[in-house]
Chain A
Amino acid sequence: MKSERIVALSAPRKEGRDKVTGRARYIDDITLPEMLYGATVRSRIPRGKIKKITFGPGINWDKFVVVTAKDIPGKNYIALIENDQLCLADGIVNHPEEPVLLLAHPDRHALPKAVEAVSIEYDSLPPVFTIEESERQSEIIWGADNIFKTYLIQKGDVDGIWEKADYIVEGEYSTGAQEQLYIETNGAIAAFDAERGLTVWGSLQCPYYVHKALMALCNLPETKVRVVQTETGGAFGGKEEYPSMLAAHASLLAMKSRRPVKIVYDRAEDMVATTKRHPSRTRHRTAVRKDGKILGGEIELVIDGGAYVTLSPVVLSRAAIHAGGPYEWPAIRVRAKAVATNAPPHGAFRGFGAPQSLFAMERHMDRIARAVNLSPVEIRRINFLKPGQTTITEQTINEPVDLGKMLDRALEHSSYEAKKQWFARENESGAVRKGMGVAAFLHGAGFTGSGERYLASVVGVEGTAEGRVRVLVSSTEFGQGTNTVLCQIAAETLGLPYDDVEIAQPDTTEVPNSGPTVASRTAMVVGSLVASAARGLEQTLTASGKLGKTYSAEEFRRACREHVAAHGRFRSLARYEPPANIYWDDQNYRGEAYAAFAWAIYVAEVTVDLATYSVSVADFVALQEVGRVLNPVLARGQIIGGVAQGIGFALYEKVEWRDGCMQNGQMTNYIMPTSADVPPIRVFFEELGNTHGAYGAKGIGELPMDGPAPAIVNAIEDALGIPLDSVPLLPENIFDAIASASNRESDARSPTGVR
């Protein structure tokens, strides 16, 4: 066998040079001849019936293309899971910023005034804004009960545990919405021609999601819709489902005007109208033995889905499966529910439900530790999942993960014990308080349960006429390193230099459907398929006698060229085959939820300023086991970037809601971490050398989003001695918490909910 020499090296980013020279072409960098610019007229109220639409004076409306729901050639919905979200409102609106009609004009500067000049009269209907209001059901805004989806996970005899408990620990935790805030806003260009059909270029994660949505909306066959991903300036889940809506709008305008149409959102529109992370509320009730062993518990988890179903059921599923953290639960019941509110639909954002439920779990572990009078470190160590034990869905851990050892290593890197002692002394006086916090967690890679089987992804590897190798996937690059890592895998498999391998631009007429670029599945699932497709290419060449069993790169190139000359286009396809004996029960949510879990221990050190109530993260250790690290520079970059977003989620990023609408849709008042805010983020990898994925890779992209918020909030609790159970925690929230804690000074010694 060839020695492995490309995988596990930091091969340079494939499209890197274009990015550092400014040559990379993003959607707004592209202009087509005769192109119009599009804009969206949106609802200004959370819920109501549209009475009348008036096109105001002072605008030459003849020069505008106007599209309403009546212009939709096919179905007026954005095809996804439930198809309940309309492309353009038709008589009724269910959230602020819901698209009502579309305008296009040759001069992009003419649009804002025209959008303002369209006035819509409504008959308002009573709206619902919070999880609690939705649960009360005094107003039914979706289906029969405002509930999009529920799941129930049960393991063991939950009802029997309570009487055996020495302690019953309860807690309620919540997380806020979070904006993805990719620096490139959403954008798309559509062009239509009766002969060739519809083509859409866009900043997006999932070309085939858009493809599917456009077929239904525009009533076009598969072959008449082409979707091309352009260089994408960040996504983080925020370009998973929303681009289908944007592509739909550009397409309708292009079909009506018969000219190419570009829509690029400005920052304000992108922030207020597109998806965000689901707000959540999680309640824990846990039975614990006096030595700290968890006997079992109940978790009730609710996420706010906004006005339409979109991806909420899938987000909820991941939240529910991760709700028990990396611990062994002899008995557990998780009830999970996604509810409707009259806000723009919440959607995919890195972590996809797991950051919410893991925040609750990891805060709750610290609460349990206090109740049983153990340290946060000991309580985790006692309860960690071990090989041979099962997760809450009864998936057996069959890899030699040793969380206790990982914990030791993370504590050592962060000088945890020494700092704890030192801070305990320092915190007696002075203007700052310091604390240390730990979070332990896991993240499942790939689609949940039977998801990968339904996707049945296909990957191609092509030998070109020039003797080069080209990877054909719909998996997209948006910063995470898809291009680079998949080329490394193909090069490795074929024993070729990295530079001999390239990757096709994702274009639905060129590349097979390798599934959406989500769920930390690309390296593990798609990567394995790239390896098998590459082996297929090699086999064809060896079987035909053009290539020997061992070969040089030059021999391969020549064989490839000969093959193309003799037979034409030379491609090898590989389709996902579900591994044998994988058991997953979709009805009872039991079985092997994920092909693999990544594991992590994060440690945060914080400083709280008692004058300003601001928190700064002084040091951050991120230690994880993600299988084989295929590209150390890129992998480290994924972790650091995710941790920075997690710091934002914990401390800075607060969506201010009024009547279902984001009020602070600007970078000036929705604050993400700057270069001055990030601590040294120190990344460590453990490698178990397991057998997952291509060359042993598991998922990595989402994992680092899960741990920072609980680690940081645990550290703040350590610094201040008061429990803080929601994020984001801005200085005013810390101030309030300190104030209400000192009001409750007297009963602070007997924490509520502890028996």
Chain B
Amino acid sequence: MTKTGATPCDVSLIVNGEPRTVRAYPMERLLDVLRQQLGLTGTKEGCGEGECGACSVIMDGALVDSCLVPVLQAQGSNVVTIEGLGKDARACALQETFLECGGAQCGICTPGMILAAVHLLNEKPEPTMDDIRDGLAGNLCRCTGYVQIFEAVAAAARRGVAR
């Protein structure tokens, strides 16, 4: 939110497989840079304080809240957003099972939730129900009560895209 911190600087990073250089204030949030400068509006803001996970992206293999990441910290890193999941088999399976199982209602938490699920299945291709609950505990959903999201993740795991 704040633009404090000296003067704008160039930050280079890889976003969804493509090298990008942006000019930004060092303390600007990665979330804002993705949404406003790179037009990647699939990453959402729900709280701006690391509580809801709507802004989740995968950064160098880790699931992060992009509202808590100053853009300078993303220098040289590899960032994947919902827009970058197009060809990822695991992500595609999750998108299908979210549709089938009712994992998305209003959809505002969905991009972050799917990234969290992709991350979870990358780490644990055959998660137990507890793994799923824990893996998604940083992503809030006010609509679904989570149960159909759990079912979607379990279904995607079962579909064997875990390979």
Contact check, A20 vs B142: say whether CB atoms are below 8 A apart.
no
Q: A19-B104, A26-B44, A109-B1 are in contact. Are A637 and B109 (CB under 8 A)?
A: no
Q: Could you tell me the distance in whole angstroms from the C-beta of A319 to the nearest C-beta in chain B?
A: 23
Chain A residues within an 8 Å CB radius of B111: 22
Closest to A233 in B: B108
Q: Which residue of A lies closest to B141 (CB)?
A: A183
Question: Which of B98, B100, B102, B106 sits near A183, CB closer than 8 Å?
Answer: B106
**CB-contact partner of B109 in A183, A231, A642, under 8 A:** A183
The dominant DSSP class at the B interface is: loop
On chain B, the residues within 8 Å of A667 by CB distance are: 46-47, 49, 51-52, 140
* B42→A267 contact, CB < 8 A: no
Given contacts A266-B48, A634-B102, contact A22 B108 (CB under 8 A): no
Query: Is B101 on the interface with A (CB-CB < 8 A)?
Result: yes
Task: Indicate if the CB atoms of B105 and A21 lie closer than 8 Å.
Answer: no
Query: A52 near B: Cβ within 8 Å?
Result: no
Nearest CB in chain A: distance from B90 CB, A: 13
B147 with A680: CB separation less than 8 A? yes
Report the Cα distance A382→B75, complex, angstroms.
69
The reply to whether A681 and B106 contact each other, CB–CB distance below 8 Å, is no
Given A15-B107, A17-B99, A20-B95, A641 contacting B82 (CB threshold 8 A): no
Say whether B60 faces chain A, with CB atoms less than 8 Å apart: no
Known: A644-B145, A668-B49, A675-B136. A233 touches B81 (CB 8 A): no
* CB <8 Å contact, A678 and B105: no
CB–CB A640/B133 < 8 A: no
**How far is A211 from B42 in the complex, measured between Cα atoms in Å?**
29
Interface assignment of A166: CB less than 8 Å from any CB of chain B: no
- A675-B150 in contact given A184-B44, A184-B46, A667-B140 (Cβ < 8 Å): yes
In the complex, whether A25 has a CB less than 8 A from a CB of chain B is yes
Selected contact of B146 from candidates A26, A481, A675, CB within 8 Å: A675
Nearest A residue (CB) for B25: A109
| Contact residues in A for B47 (Cβ distance below 8 Å) | 267, 666-667
B21 at the interface (CB under 8 A from A): no
Interface residues of B in 1-18 (CB under 8 A from A): 1-3
Hey, which chain B residues are within 8 Å of A106, CB to CB? none
Asked whether A641 and B105 contact (CB < 8 A) given A183-B44, A672-B142, A676-B134, the answer is yes
Tell me whether B144 is interfacial, beta carbon within 8 Å: yes
Q: Does B64 contact A (CB under 8 A)?
A: no
Per-position contact with B for A178-213: 1 when CB-CB < 8 Å, else 0?
A: 001111110000000000000000000000000000
Chain B nearest CB from A505 CB (Å) reads: 15
B66 at the interface (CB under 8 A from A): no
- Decide yes or no whether A234 CB sits under 8 A from chain B: yes
Are A678 and B148 closer than 8 Å at their CB atoms? no
A109 contacts which of B3, B35, B108, B149 (Cβ < 8 Å)?
Answer: B3
Partner of B143, one of A10, A267, A641, A681: A641
The answer to whether B54 touches A666 (Cβ under 8 A) is no
Q: Which chain A residue shows the least CB distance to B40?
A: A22
For residue B154, CB closer than 8 A to chain A, the reply is no
- Chain A, 628-661, CB within 8 A of any chain B CB: 633-634, 636-637, 640-645
Q: Which residues of chain B are near A24, meaning CB under 8 Å?
A: 107
CB neighbours of A26 from chain B (8 A): 41, 44, 108
B89 contacts partner chain A, Cβ-Cβ < 8 Å: no
CB of B99 to closest CB in A, whole Å: 5
Q: For the complex formed, measure the closest distance between the CB of B53 and the CB atoms of chain A, giving whole angstroms.
A: 9
On whether the beta carbons of A675 and B99 are closer than 8 Å, the reply is no
Min CB–CB distance A38 → chain B (angstroms): 16
Which of B83, B98, B148 is A20 in contact with, Cβ under 8 Å? B98
The A652-692 residues at the B interface (CB cut-off 8 A) are 666-668, 672-676, 678, 680-681
Across the interface, do B99 and A681 meet the contact criterion of CB distance under 8 Å? no
Contact A109-B2, Cβ < 8 Å, known A233-B108, A637-B102? yes
B100 & A12 in contact (Cβ 8 Å cutoff): yes
A671 to chain B, nearest CB (A): 9
Which residue of B has the minimal Cβ distance to A634?
B102
| A330 lies within 8 A of chain B by Cβ | no
**A633: which B residues are within 8 A, CB to CB?**
100-102, 148
A478 to B107, CA, bound (A): 9
Nearest CB on A from B162, distance (A) = 19
Closest to B84 in A: A22
Out of B1, B36, B144, name the residue touching A641 (CB < 8 Å). Answer: B144
Judged by a CB distance under 8 angstroms, whether A745 is at the interface is no
Cβ of A13 under 8 Å from chain B = yes
Q: Mark A407-435, 1 if CB is under 8 A from B, else 0.
A: 00000000000000000000000000000
Q: Per-residue CB proximity of A455-480 to B under 8 Å, as 1/0?
A: 00000000000000000000000111
What residues of B have a CB within 8 angstroms of the CB of A183 in the complex?
A: 44, 46, 52, 54, 106, 108-109, 140-142
Does A751 have its Cβ within 8 Å of any Cβ on chain B? no
User: Do the beta carbons of A681 and B145 come within 8 Å of each other?
Assistant: yes
CB-defined contacts of B42 to chain A, threshold 8 Å: 21-23
A221 neighbours in B (Cβ, 8 Å): none
Interface residues of A in 475-503 (CB under 8 A from B): 478-481
What is the minimal beta-carbon distance from A637 to any residue of chain B, in angstroms? 4
Complex formed: what's the CA distance from A109 to B145 in Å?
Answer: 35
Selected from A21, A231, A236, A681, the residue in CB contact (under 8 A) with B142 is: A236
Q: B residues within 8 A CB of A676?
A: 133-134, 137
Q: Mark B97-121, 1 if CB is under 8 A from A, else 0.
A: 0111111111111110010000000
Q: Is the CB of B99 within 8 A of A20?
A: yes
CA distance A405 to B107 in the complex (A): 37
A:207-266 near B, CB below 8 Å: 231-236, 266
Cβ distance B149 to chain A, nearest Cβ, rounded Å: 7
- CB <8 Å contact, A480 and B105: yes
Most buried by A among B104, B107, B144: B107
A181 contact from B3, B45, B142, B150, Cβ within 8 A: B142
Complex formed: what's the CA distance from A111 to B72 in Å? 23
**B148 and A182 within 8 A (CB):** no
> Which 6 pairs from chain A and chain B are nearest by CB?
A22-B42, A233-B108, A19-B107, A644-B145, A479-B106, A22-B82
Can you list 5 A-B contacts with CB-CB less than 8 angstroms, sorted by A residue number?
A: A25-B41, A640-B147, A644-B145, A668-B49, A672-B142
Q: Could you tell me which A residues sit within 8 Å of B by CB distance?
A: 10, 12-13, 15-26, 28-29, 31, 109, 112, 180-185, 231-236, 266-267, 478-481, 633-634, 636-637, 640-645, 666-668, 672-676, 678, 680-681
Contacts A17-B99, A22-B41 known; list 20 others, CB within 8 Å: A13-B104, A17-B95, A20-B103, A22-B83, A180-B142, A183-B109, A183-B142, A184-B44, A234-B106, A479-B105, A641-B105, A641-B142, A642-B145, A644-B146, A645-B142, A666-B49, A666-B51, A667-B46, A668-B49, A678-B145
